[in-house]
Amino acid sequence: MPKFGIVVDLDKCSGCQACSVACAMENNLPSGSADLAEAGRLLRWLQMLPQFEGEYPHYGGQTVPMMCQQCERPPCTLVCPVSATYPSADGIVAQIYWRCIGCRYCVNACPYTMKWFNWFEPQWPGELKDGTNPDVEMREKGVTEKCTFCHHKLQIAKERAKAEGRAIRPDEYVPACAMACPTEAIVFGDIEDPESDAFRKSRGARAFRFLEDLGTNPKVIYLKSM
Amino acid sequence: MKLGATAGLGAAISGTGSFVFPKNSNDDELAAAQIHRNLPEDFVASVCSCCPALCQLRLRRVGSKIVGVLPQSPKPCPRAYAIPQEIYHPERIRHPMRGTGARGYRAFETVDRGSAVDEMSRCLLQNPVRSAILLGGTAAASRNLLAEFALAVGCNDVYVEDSSIHQGPVDALRDATGWDRWNFSTLKSNGVISFGFEWLQSSSAFPESMVAFQKMREQNLPIIFVGSRYGTTAMRSKEWVRTRAGYEPLVALTICAHIIKQEKHARSCDAIQGFGDFAKSIAALDVGAFCKKTGVSPREIHRISDILIGRPKILAISCRGRLEDQWPVVLLNIVLGSVGTEQPLLPVQKLASPATAPAEGIPEKIERGDVESLVIVESNPVFGSPNPNRWRNALCKVKRLVVLGTIFDESCAFADVVLPLSCASESSDVYAKVSNSEVTRVKSEPAVPKGADMFDLAHLVFDLAKSPGGKELPWRTLDEYSNSVKTVSPPDLRIDLGKFVTWKDPVFEEGEFHVVPFVPTGFYCQNGGHLPYLLTTAGAHLREFWTTFIEINKETAHRLGIEDREIVILKSGAGEIEARARYYEGVPPDVIGIPLGLGHRIGSFAQKIGGNPSQLFAFRRDERTGAVLWNLQKISIRRIH
């Protein structure tokens, strides 16, 4: 069973945020509003995390694409009272919206603050809903959501491959962020397959994980900027 | 899975592992989703027409709806992925409308297509010599066709939306070479030194810039940003050379002088007539004084010069700016040998398109009475121009105003009649795309049908041609027109330094702080703030979303008693707005950074906090080139309470 992960090369990341917008479109993230933004309630599964230090003129850093880290030992799953979130066999931390009771224990438990709670009913003014992705479930008020490595694409790829009696090809399952990245800074793949780019990059000297000392063992690996 | 855990929801789990949806779900939505899943799906080739990059895409079509965007290589900017939001935007203009009431605050009611076309016909044809057209959007054959028609009927005032903030030093290049179409090819370069230009954020060749950036990082090539503000380009450059705001070109001139003094200029310079004497005059410049003005030390100049002369094909770029700001950067490219057909700065073919003028002269013409009727096509000058009050006043005064567009915006609110246009994925059009030194035609076919009341611009033009007062055009179809337009190739390159303009100190507007504007990625010509997904990208480095904000140095903020996230008032001679102040150590104490393109207050995704930064900028234009100058503004800041 492949263990899917993402490697983000911070040296190649230009900060363009094509990944963030592509993710929002692919996964039917609510548009949001000025009120939600003011209240800090905008839902964006993939956000840029500012990592700066120093004072002018000795100032430096960059923004880092941050999404659910798909931990091997996810704290969020340990606290969910209804198993609405659990680690699946293919390495993706699943989120079942219909099970979620909105207690937000997982939101609090996540050390990366990458679980998002729908405080309000998502609004789709006008005909905006016509442009939403039919493969992705629309969430509603009261449930938590997060990056799923575009799990729906994996399902579709599996169905197609099964129908054709073959294995899934690597290019058949690529999350929206990796597909959108114009500098190939985001690489997706099986981080335990020695043939995959993701495996090779994740074992390089520049590789690191955020909050490694917490023991969550995230499957989003970053490569330090050179 | 535990049945007990799900029993509370009333769900049952069948033997196959699929769910029976509980009764308390949104049945209509699920049913719609089910229907959607059974509709035919395909992928349609299309073009993103938001900027001159003209990125090619595949649109995912399910049934008759566009539900996704897949990139082709080279990949597009974030804007392309929001195309479905553009098509199905709540403020999408779907029917022709007539406005009543005071201009700028009009109430609109739907009218029939015939009335709308009649109004446009009257606007253009009743008195063509007093009519004008403002063309926004990307250079498409349909737009050029409208321009041809206007010129044919005697309307000589055909303007294009200003995009100076995205352009390089094209005027100095024209003066130096006699050619006005250039490709600043980051892809052909072995490194980039940018003098204040955010090429990784605001370039009109985004995909190429990204591929070039990737290559430069992989090969450890020099990427240098010279500027006062630590923006996206500085963040991703190998070096950030800090300089005083507005003095970036002087750093370029200092580097030129140093290289010429060392006699390390490219050998190709020796072939330039008069280069010897010219070089002597540059070498004689007081670089010590320049270093004091810019704040960049002589040692730093030496070091950077060594990096640049150490390798071929380094590209120097800058904003368009004043003519005397452009020349140092053009000169640096010449001195480095980077200008030529095999070099990063290469002359490009152009289409023999209809003659146009920069749009920013229109308000004055309206005030003088030279223009009585105006047609605006896919442009929002009331929002995106410096000192937009000029436009507001002019559009209140103009006798007839017709606006054609896809999204109802601030300029539409002044119109007598608004006509809904189809967008790139709903119509056929031909676009002119630059590739290396060639112009190639990219055809786009409709991926989904346009609304019944919407107009294809090309068809509208042909209808106008047949209307009373119109003039038959020599082409019957858009393809015929597009194929008839000749490409003009650049002549053999000959550099002439006779028109070199000596740099002089900029004259800033009155105020305490320099304003360094930047255009967030995807906001080409400040267009994009109506899309909610883009509204969360402009301030990512500060976690600031959906608000007009300023970057202010902490020391400055403390001196003024401003707290982080406090709403402040920004004031200039041109206008006044509110914005949220954010502490940011990436700007020096005398500089305020501000993103352009935010501040929409109409529509479903309007902001609540912060005005339109364009209102702070005085309308300044280089009289020799027509370029709008965005980098000479200063402002004052005060607290609200």
3-state secondary structure labels for all residues of B183-252:
EECCCCCCCEEEECCCCCCCCCCHHHHHHHHHHHHHCCCCEEEEECCCCHHHHHCCEEEECCCCCHHHHH
Chain B interface test: which of A28, A183, A225 (most B C-beta within 10 Å): A183
B-chain residues near A126 (CB < 8 A): 88-92, 604
For residue A174, the distance in angstroms to the closest alpha carbon of chain B comes to 11
Give the Cα separation of A176 and B455 in Å (integer).
33
Q: What is the pLDDT of residues A127-181, one digit of tens each?
A: 999 999 999 999 999 999 999 999 999 999 999 999 999 998 888 999 999 999 9
Return the bridge partners of B131, or none. B373
Instruction: Kindly list the distances between the CA atom of residue B341 and the CA atoms of B344, B392, B614, in Å, as whole numbers in the listed order.
Output: 8, 44, 38
Q: Cβ of A11 and B232 within 8 Å?
A: no
Q: Exposed, middle or buried: residue B604 (CB in 10 Å: 0-12, 13-18, 19+)? A: middle
Q: Which pLDDT does position B37 carry in this prediction?
A: 60
Return the bridge partners of A189, or none. A5
Residue of chain B minimizing CA distance to A140: B26
Q: Which pLDDT does position A52 carry in this prediction?
A: 96
Chain B interface test: which of A66, A100, A130 (most B C-beta within 10 Å): A130
Q: Which pLDDT does position B15 carry in this prediction?
A: 31
Residue for token digits 């090429």? B199
3-class DSSP string for B578-603: EEEEEECCCCCCCEEEEECCCCCCCC
CB A65 within 8 A of CB A48: yes
Q: Does B205 touch chain A (CB under 8 A)?
A: no
Q: Does A127 touch chain B (CB under 8 A)?
A: yes
Q: Cβ of B214 and A184 within 8 Å?
A: yes
B-chain residues near A88 (CB < 8 A): none
A-chain residues near B217 (CB < 8 A): 11-12, 183, 226
Q: Does A32 touch chain B (CB under 8 A)?
A: yes
Give the Cα separation of A205 and B1 in Å (integer).
40
Farthest CA pair distance, chain A: 60
CA dihedral B580, B581, B587, B593 (to 10 degrees): 30
Q: Cβ of B19 and A98 within 8 Å?
A: yes
A-chain residues near B67 (CB < 8 A): 131-134
Size of interface A-B (CB pairs under 8 A): 213
Classified as helix, coil or strand, B84 is: helix
Q: Does B232 touch chain A (CB under 8 A)?
A: yes
Return the bridge partners of B12, or none. B20
Q: Cβ of B36 and A134 within 8 Å?
A: yes
- Residues (pLDDT < 70) of chain B are 1-37
Instruction: Report the sign of the C-alpha dihedral through residues B581, B587, B590, B596, in that order.
Output: negative
Q: Which pLDDT does position B139 carry in this prediction?
A: 82
Q: What is the pLDDT of residues B389-415, one digit of tens each?
A: 999 999 999 999 999 999 999 999 999
One-letter amino acid of A116? W
**Prediction ipTM score:** 0.96
A-chain residues near B203 (CB < 8 A): none
Chain B interface test: which of A10, A12, A13, A17 (most B C-beta within 10 Å): A17
Give the Cα separation of A10 and A207 in Å (integer).
10
Q: Does B77 touch chain A (CB under 8 A)?
A: yes
Q: Which pLDDT does position B277 carry in this prediction?
A: 92
Q: Which pLDDT does position A194 carry in this prediction?
A: 95
Model confidence, pTM: 0.93
User: Which of A153, A123, A6 lies closest to A71, judged by CA?
Assistant: A6
Instruction: Kindly list the distances between the CA atom of residue B590 and the CA atoms of A9, A160, B50, B229, B551, in Å, as whole numbers in the listed order.
Output: 34, 59, 34, 11, 11
Which tokens go with B567?
A: 């709403």
Q: Cβ of B542 and A50 within 8 Å?
A: yes
Cβ neighbours of residue A147 closer than 8 Å, sequence gap 6 or more: A23, A45, A46, A67, A68, A70, A114
Give the Cα separation of B399 and B404 in Å (integer).
17
Q: Does B445 touch chain A (CB under 8 A)?
A: no
Q: Does B29 touch chain A (CB under 8 A)?
A: yes
Is the predicted pLDDT of residue A31 greater than 80, yes or no?
Answer: yes
Q: Does A63 touch chain B (CB under 8 A)?
A: yes
Q: Cβ of A47 and B90 within 8 Å?
A: no
CA dihedral B81, B87, B92, B98 (to 10 degrees): 130
